[in-house]
Amino acid sequence: MHELQQDGQPKPEPMGEPLLVRVEEAARILSLSRSTVYEMMDAGELPSVRRGTARRIPVAALRAWVAQQISPTSAD
């Protein structure tokens, strides 16, 4: 259960891992090249967030992509 501040708002959780990472960081995390990560984003395989010219990838999306790669798929 979340503790509340005096104004009734939930207390912020301590910062652990970041919510978003740079393309270079995502490539390192996945042990892939930067160009492969850009190709994955362009193909819609890996979601990203844009702010101006900056692109960031949600850490949750990296985890989901890895889980999808290792989960058994149904046979055709």
How far apart are the C-alpha atoms of 26 and 20, rounded to whole Å?
A: 9
Judge whether 4 lies within some domain: no
Judge whether 47 lies within some domain: yes
User: pLDDT per residue over 10-38, tens digit each?
Assistant: 666 666 789 999 999 999 999 999 999 99
Higher pLDDT, 60 or 11: 60
Judge whether 34 lies within some domain: yes
Pairing of strands 49-51, 54-58: antiparallel
| pTM for the full predicted model | 0.71
How far apart are the C-alpha atoms of 67 and 23, rounded to whole Å?
A: 19
Judge whether 7 lies within some domain: no
User: pLDDT per residue over 35-50, tens digit each?
Assistant: 999 999 999 999 999 9
Domains in the chain, number: 1
Q: In which domain, by residue range, is 46 found? A: 20-68
Judge whether 3 lies within some domain: no
Judge whether 26 lies within some domain: yes
